[in-house]
Structure 1
Amino acid sequence: MLAVKEYGLTDEQIMFRDTVRKFIKDHVPEEYARKCDQEKLVPWEAFNKVAEMGWLGVVIPEKYGGSELGFVELGILLEELSYGYLELATMVYRASVHGAESLLTYGSEEQKEKYLPLIVQGKFKSSLSLTEPNSGSDAASIQVKAVRDGDYYIINGQKIFNSAVNIATRTVLAARTDTTVPKHKGITLFFVDPTTPGIEIERMDTMVFRALGTYQVFYNDVRVHKDDMLGQLNNGWKHLMTNLTKERFAIAAMMTGALRHALDTAINYAKQRVQFGQSISKFQVIQHKLVDMKIEAHLAQLTTYDLAKRIDAKVPSRTEASATKIYVTEAYHRIAIQGMQVLGGYSVTPDFPMERHYRESVLQKIGGGTNEVLRNSMAKDLEL
């Protein structure tokens, strides 16, 4: 009988997973994650070590200095990094998806040769500038404008909820370049340096992304060269859509790692916490909570790696990506809520990571496309 590998992973993929797990144990202990979260410190030390390991180039072709592996390997990396610290994984996600995949999908060859090797080396950080004060779920209704002026575009307007834009080397900016056509057809993407004159960045006070920060950005007559356009003029919306499956997969992989950590936190606490003369893990009500959480974690991993394999096989997976993002983010939230109940009063203190998991899990049902909007998208796919 052939041995069945965990979640269908190969020996090489399991070895890679174990290597990343050891990395987290050695370099990203809970004390480090807690310090970054509470003191609003970007986890530069850990990120730079990830770059030294060569992991930022997992999905980047060898010709640009990458490893040219697949989305299963990217999923393993993001899951295990998120088990250690979600915001560290988010930095890698932005480099791999918002940076590398944007360039690989619709960047010019000159842009690929210029930026992809820097991403591999950890010298290039990315972010996405899409949401605006009056453009959230209706993302195509953006109002930031880019007007052609010779070899440059003059950009004016405001973006909001831009995570990590302050540390980005370039941000993928969606701007309106044609106001005479339907809203989906007049958008263009630009690779913008956030330090360009005319850009003002203001940090927002939020309960999540404490280390990386969330920002609103003001563009005041910002001059961006035409060579920094990503893809074709007025084709930005279509370009964004090409990466949605990969983005939603990456979010699911990160949440899978985070929810596993929340589960383990609850299990370890339940075994150690003594009430009525025994550990609370001996009480059936606690056991059932932990079992339900384990079921959710198992299914999250199954659906996430199934999606990764579909992407690697180049099977169209828009519906499956939406379903995976919905299920995993909501499973994370359910696990966090149950974990709060298991830890009781200690769950709301910063001495335990459960309160961080609860805060993060609330956001994940909103970011990357709200789960309500994704359900609408799935309904259309079902021709309802």
Structure 2
Amino acid sequence: MRGDRDFGFTDEQLMLRDAVRDFVRREMPDAEARRHDREKIAPLAAFDKMAALGWLGVAIPEEYGGSGLGFVELGIIQEELSYGLLELAVLFYRATVHGAHSLLTYGNEAQRRKYLPLIAAGKFKSSMSLTEPDAGSDASAVRTRAVRDGDHFVINGAKVFNSQIDLADRTVLVTRTDPSAPAHKGISLFFVDPKSPGVSIERIETLAFRAVGTNRVTYENVRVPQEDLLGELNGGWKQLMTNLNKERFSLAAQVTGAAQAALDCALQYAKDRKQFGQPIGKFQAIQHKLADMQVAVHTSRMLTYDLARRLDAGIDCRKEASIAKVACAEAYFRVADEGMQILGGYSLTPEFPMERHYRDSRLMRIGGGTSEVMRTSIAKDLGL
């Protein structure tokens, strides 16, 4: 069904898209996606098969074992994976953006040579440890402390909504290393092994993203060697900001693919379901809903790949990244919400994926930067 266009993709990019699309049909059909969601099982088998195809290294330079491609290719893979299961794309994203691009952006050469080949080979999973009980949208309020002790740092604190850390080989941990400095200063990042002594991980029950899930994490006297410091000491806030555009782009690509899946589900249902002697898709009320859903998905895809090309060209695109994230996340929610209305009572059952889309789409207006924070960022870029 799909109904998309090539959006200016090259022949090679179209081949990649078709390969990922075929992979999702085989490895993540709806029944399998439903099983992972219902049984709260991370799609690790699909991740490993995807890694064997070399996709984890798509945007890693060739000198580190990758393919040396760009953000358009990253977007294609994430969009297509999300069509099957959003959380599969998030597994990919946390390796390629939280892991690989963090190292490429502010890691040192020794760290890049150590970890990037592992990420490219699919033998390394990453996560981000930022949010705390008292530091959410106000990320500069982090209190987790890292204190130098010889050639180590000793870390104490608590994180929450720390997704995938229980599966990760390393997490990008945001700490405060200079408590006397202003809020946006004195922050440092570390690449921490979550299996280190003193790290405790507790799964949180959630409405959405139940396959991979999220966690509370406590750090009690966790000793981290100095070589695991990412970038400059006390320069962590600036480093975080340099990766935001890439994160927001990734989220836009993910929700675009998931929104397309929700649209296709509703469209097929409208063709199959008969009421009053005809398919419900023959009624103008349903047609207009589906038309609006198509507008939302098409617009999301345009915003996503416009942003990808800006990133590939090295163009400053902070405003465009915020626009893409808020517009695409809210488009996904509208598509899922209208899909629930079209499917009626069936939308509330696991027989159809719409109820999962509805749950996941609600999260995506919060995770990765709330819609309100995105609008505040856009307003600042307008000079307000």
* Alignment TM class, shorter chain as reference: over 0.9
- Asked if 1:84 is matched to 2:84, the reply is yes
- Asked if 1:162 is matched to 2:124, the reply is no
Q: Distance in 2 between matches of 1:359 and 1:344?
A: 16
User: Which residue of the partner structure matches residue 314 of structure 1?
Assistant: 314
- Asked if 1:96 is matched to 2:120, the reply is no
Are the aligned partners of 1:163 and 1:209 in contact in 2 as well (CA < 8 Å)? no
User: Which residue of the partner structure matches residue 219 of structure 1?
Assistant: 219
User: Which residue of the partner structure matches residue 107 of structure 1?
Assistant: 107
Deviations 1:107-151 (A, max 9, x none): 011110110011111111000000000000000000000000001
TM-superposed CA distance for 1:28, in Å, is 1.2
User: Which residue of the partner structure matches residue 26 of structure 1?
Assistant: 26
User: Which residue of the partner structure matches residue 256 of structure 1?
Assistant: 256
User: Which residue of the partner structure matches residue 130 of structure 2?
Assistant: 130
Mapping of residues 4-153 of structure 1, within 5 Å: 6-153=6-153
TM-superposed CA distance for 1:95, in Å, is 0.4
Write the letter of the residue equivalent to 2:182: P
Write the letter of the residue equivalent to 1:162: N
Q: Number of paired residues?
A: 380
Normalized against structure 1, the TM-score is what? 0.98
What SS is found at the alignment partner of 2:7?
Answer: helix
TM-superposed CA distance for 1:191, in Å, is 0.4
User: Which residue of the partner structure matches residue 245 of structure 1?
Assistant: 245
Write the letter of the residue equivalent to 1:178: D
Consecutive unaligned residues of structure 1, counting only runs of 5 or more, are none
TM-superposed CA distance for 1:12, in Å, is 1.2
User: Which residue of the partner structure matches residue 365 of structure 1?
Assistant: 365
TM-superposed CA distance for 1:377, in Å, is 1.1
User: Which residue of the partner structure matches residue 280 of structure 1?
Assistant: 280
Deviations 1:41-69 (A, max 9, x none): 11111100110100000110001110000
User: Which residue of the partner structure matches residue 333 of structure 1?
Assistant: 333
Q: Distance in 2 between matches of 1:209 and 1:121?
A: 25
Q: Distance in 2 between matches of 1:137 and 1:244?
A: 13
TM-superposed CA distance for 1:6, in Å, is 2.3
Q: Distance in 2 between matches of 1:233 and 1:208?
A: 36
Are the aligned partners of 1:128 and 1:162 in contact in 2 as well (CA < 8 Å)? yes
- Asked if 1:206 is matched to 2:216, the reply is no
User: Which residue of the partner structure matches residue 172 of structure 2?
Assistant: 172
Q: Which runs of 4+ in 1 moved over 3 A?
A: none
TM-superposed CA distance for 1:370, in Å, is 0.8
Are the aligned partners of 1:365 and 1:371 in contact in 2 as well (CA < 8 Å)? yes
Normalized against structure 2, the TM-score is what? 0.98
Write the letter of the residue equivalent to 1:142: V
Write the letter of the residue equivalent to 1:255: V
Write the letter of the residue equivalent to 2:272: Q
Q: Distance in 1 between matches of 2:350 and 2:243?
A: 36
% same residue: 62
Write the letter of the residue equivalent to 2:108: S
Are the aligned partners of 1:146 and 1:156 in contact in 2 as well (CA < 8 Å)? yes
Deviations 1:56-95 (A, max 9, x none): 0011000111000010000000000000111110000000
TM-superposed CA distance for 1:371, in Å, is 1.1
Consecutive unaligned residues of structure 2, counting only runs of 5 or more, are none
Write the letter of the residue equivalent to 1:326: V
What SS is found at the alignment partner of 2:153?
Answer: strand
What SS is found at the alignment partner of 2:112?
Answer: helix
Q: Distance in 2 between matches of 1:377 and 1:287?
A: 36
